[in-house]
Amino acid sequence: MFYIGVDLGGTKIAVGLVQKDGALIAKKSAKTDAESFAHIMDTIADTIAGLLEENGFSTEDVEGIGIGCPGSVDSRSGVVIYANNIRLDNAPVAQTLRARIGKPVFVSNDANCAALGENVMGGAKGLDNLVLITLGTGVGGGIIIDGKIFDGNNGTGGEPGHSLLRMNGEACTCGRRGCWEAYASATALIRQTKAAIARHPESSMSGDAQVSGRTAFEAAKRGDKAGRAVVARYLRYVAEGIVNMVNIFRPDIVLIGGGISHEGDYILRPIQRFVDRRSYGAAYTTPPRVKLATLGNDAGIIGAAMLCRGK
Amino acid sequence: MFYIGVDLGGTKIAVGLVQKDGALIAKKSAKTDAESFAHIMDTIADTIAGLLEENGFSTEDVEGIGIGCPGSVDSRSGVVIYANNIRLDNAPVAQTLRARIGKPVFVSNDANCAALGENVMGGAKGLDNLVLITLGTGVGGGIIIDGKIFDGNNGTGGEPGHSLLRMNGEACTCGRRGCWEAYASATALIRQTKAAIARHPESSMSGDAQVSGRTAFEAAKRGDKAGRAVVARYLRYVAEGIVNMVNIFRPDIVLIGGGISHEGDYILRPIQRFVDRRSYGAAYTTPPRVKLATLGNDAGIIGAAMLCRGK
């Protein structure tokens, strides 16, 4: 018997056939039609059917289906309350797919699923208390406590990206000012890089036709002063928010995923130094290690599948 | 059979005889000798013995002893790792008292115990997901998830007071800059009040010989402009930190305790307004209610006793 894991993203639906121990056997993906709930449900059902067929299985071989969805998810009812990038307002995902496929369906937030995947098969294997931070378009957070997803009272909380970094600071997409996400996302880094280029026309970054989340890192690595300043400040933003999470959750490990995590050790070392120095009670205890997430996009598929293990 | 609840404070040890349903039957207190671990343990044992005797009971009638301690507590081992105000460094509280009294001993942080007490018998009765914030010398936090204390991986986390309000802001006792505690504690309010008096010698607050956490509130209530500004800003600090907690834990209710909570509705209304407007997804969901803790100092005794129920 297998679990099916589904990672429902804004542009892509990725479906995987997952063993009960978390091993990902095969996967298949399809484009997301972000405008229509019914169409999204059709695509998921069709992609699952296709994946099973390609691998010589049928729904008979499936014990359950887990789905990681963006946005705010009521994990108890399996309803997506709302999502920024996809039309899923009060969308009864679990009920709809269960009626369609006739198997138990479990739903959670995509960042939570990624964290669970990293716990079962990735960078936090064997470490049952972890915080996964994804630095991408936004700052996502997945929290695992004692091997289980913590999603903030049935999925309505669990938003570390929307803790303050600086009250009255940068405007955040959530309507508040000064959230961590507004400083530590790749989107924020691009904004910070553009501002530095405007202030420092002499910087080698001025040549970049298309500023990306890599621009400042590349400039810093070639010794560009403005680039180094952008990176140092950005990593401080990241590290300060991680200390917030450490002071609340004190996980065994903090994992960093998302686009920015490709910078690897270059970002880990300064972040670890800050966490070691500034976490609460750092003089008396050893703060958690900060490492990279290791499963990439597969984390979300594996973790979604693992929702089927039950609570 | 009863539980014994002990609230170990910097100046006072309060011991209570508690029914299994949480009802506090009788209590007794003694002074804390903050300098000596052995003496603290003696005092707790003696006070328990005295309380039992006064009420016609013996240790035979006691099923377990729960102790709420300040500072960082490893709830698994029953060791207080460190505490700011009392000499308890790596203090084996559970082991010592168990050897002394011959009953199971459970230890947790005092703010966690207070939160559990409010859940069992106080302002959050029937609401099993709550965050208790105590606004006193510091900003304490007790978090209950599904009716159980969440103490951040065996007591090493669970420090909402040490989340950022403003990066690089006011110095905090924890060694970091900009923690919520450095803005929203009564200590911080006193500092803010004194600064306002210095800036506004025309304020009616200038007459106060001894500035306290009440000074600005009293001035605001009599229409003093500087006092109103201090209060408005202080309540914003409190509310911003509560929104952080709401975005992470999304509790059923937020309770406010500690000295500042005596201001009652005067503080609740503006805080609730801010929480309703600025919590993540506020447009789609109803943020939790913010209310006053109702048990005062008894919360810690009752909650400590309830530790004996087991996990």
ipTM above 0.90, yes or no: yes
> B128 touching A, CB under 8 A?
no
Chain A touched by B285 (CB under 8 Å): yes
Q: A86 falls in which pLDDT band (50, 70, 90)?
A: confident
Q: Kindly report, residue by residue over A137-163, the tens digit of the pLDDT.
A: 899 899 999 999 998 877 777 889 999
Min distance B142 CA to chain A CA atoms (Å): 11
Q: Is A247 on the interface with B (CB under 8 A)?
A: yes
Provide the pLDDT confidence category of residue A135 given band limits of 50, 70 and 90. very high
Within 13 Å, how many C-alpha atoms sit on residue A292's CB side?
15
Give the pLDDT confidence of B182-206 residue by residue, as tens digits. Answer: 999 999 999 999 999 999 999 999 9
DSSP string, A5-28: EEEE-SSEEEEEEE-TTS-EEEEE
Is the pLDDT score of B311 beyond 70? no
Q: What is the mean pLDDT of chain B?
A: 94
> What's the average model confidence in pLDDT over A72-101?
89
Asked if residue A253 has pLDDT above 90, the reply is yes
Distance from CA of B160 to the nearest CA of A (A): 6
Confidence (pLDDT) at A201:
95
Tell me: pLDDT of B85 over 80.
no
Query: How far does chain A reach from its first CA to its final CA, in angstroms?
Result: 19
* DSSP reduced 3-state for A36: coil
pLDDT of residue A35: 79
The pLDDT assigned to A82 comes to 81
Q: A268 touching B, CB under 8 A?
A: no
Q: Cα(A184)–Cα(B295) distance, rounded to whole angstroms?
A: 40
Q: How confident is the model at residue A176 (pLDDT cuts 50, 70, 90)?
A: very high
- % pLDDT > 90, chain A: 83
Q: Write out the residue limits of the CATH 3.30.420.40 domain(s) in chain B.
A: 2-120+297-309, 126-292
Average pLDDT, chain A: 94
Neighbours of B31 (CB within 10 A): 9
DSSP H/E element including A72: strand A72-74
Task: Give the C-alpha separation, B299 to B105, whole Å.
Answer: 18
CATH number for the domain running over A127-292: 3.30.420.40
pLDDT on residue A134: 93
Q: Is there a contact between A285 and B156 if contact means CB atoms under 8 Å apart?
A: yes
Q: Quick one: how many helices (H) and strands (E) in chain B?
A: 9, 13
The answer to whether domain B126-292 has CATH 3.40.50.720 is no
pLDDT at B214: 96
Hey, is the C-beta of A211 within 8 angstroms of any chain B C-beta? no
CA separation for the pair A307, A119 (Å, rounded): 12
Question: Looking at residue A157, what is its pLDDT?
Answer: 78
From CA A296, how far away is CA A286, in angstroms rounded? 28
Taking residues B211-221, report their average pLDDT.
Answer: 97
Q: Kindly give, in sequence order, each residue whose CB lies less than 8 Å from that of residue A257, ignoring residues fewer than 6 positions away.
A: A114, A118, A132, A133, A134, A135, A292, A293, A296, A299
Average pLDDT over residues A13-31: 97
Residues of each domain in chain A carrying CATH 3.30.420.40 = 2-120+297-309, 127-292
B291/B255 Cα distance (integer angstroms): 5
B209 touches chain A (CB under 8 A): no
B interface test, pick of A127, A162, A289 with most B CB neighbours within 10 Å: A162
Contact B268, B258 (CB under 8 A): no
Q: Judge whether residue A250 has pLDDT over 70.
A: yes
What pLDDT is stored for residue B130 in this prediction? 96
CATH number for region B2-120+297-309: 3.30.420.40
Q: Does B49 touch chain A (CB under 8 A)?
A: no
pLDDT in tens, B41-52: 999 999 999 999
Q: Which residues of A touch B250 (CB under 8 A)?
A: 152-153, 156-158
Residue corresponding to tokens 């289906």: A65
pLDDT of residue B88: 84
Looking at the DSSP bridge assignments, the partners of residue B50 are: none
Task: Write out chain A residues lying below 8 Å of B157, CB-based.
Answer: 246-251
Using the predicted structure, report yes or no on whether residue A311 has a pLDDT greater than 70: no
Distances, alpha carbon B195 to alpha carbons B62, B189, B198, in Å? 52, 10, 5
B126-184 pLDDT, tens digit each: 999 999 999 998 998 999 999 999 988 777 778 899 999 999 999 998 889 999 999 99
B241 contacts in chain A (CB < 8 Å): 164
**Could you tell me if B175 lies within 8 Å of chain A, comparing CB atoms?**
yes
Q: Do the Cβ atoms of A291 and A255 come closer than 8 Å?
A: yes
pTM equals 0.93
Q: What is the pLDDT of residue A155?
A: 73
